[in-house]
Amino acid sequence: MDTYSHKPFNGALADALIEREGSAFKLNLSAFAREVEGYSDSAIRMIVNGERRPTPEALEAIAKALHLSPHYFREYRIQWVARLAYEHPEIIDQLYGVARLYAELHQAECDSLAAGLPALDVLDGKTEEDE
Q: Is residue 3 part of a domain?
A: no
Q: Is residue 1 part of a domain?
A: no
Domain total in the chain: 2
Alpha helix stretches (DSSP H) within the chain: 9-21, 29-35, 41-48, 56-66, 74-87, 92-105, 107-116
pLDDT over threshold 70, residue 124: no
> Are residues 62 and 111 located together in one domain of the fold?
no
DSSP 61: H
CATH of the domain at 30: 1.10.260.40
11, 48 Cβ separation under 8 angstroms: no
Predicted confidence (pLDDT) per residue in 26-46, tens digit: 778 888 999 999 999 999 999
Q: Which domain holds residue 100?
A: 89-130
Mean pLDDT of 63-87: 95
> Are residues 19 and 54 located together in one domain of the fold?
yes
Say what the pTM is: 0.76
Q: Is residue 22 part of a domain?
A: yes
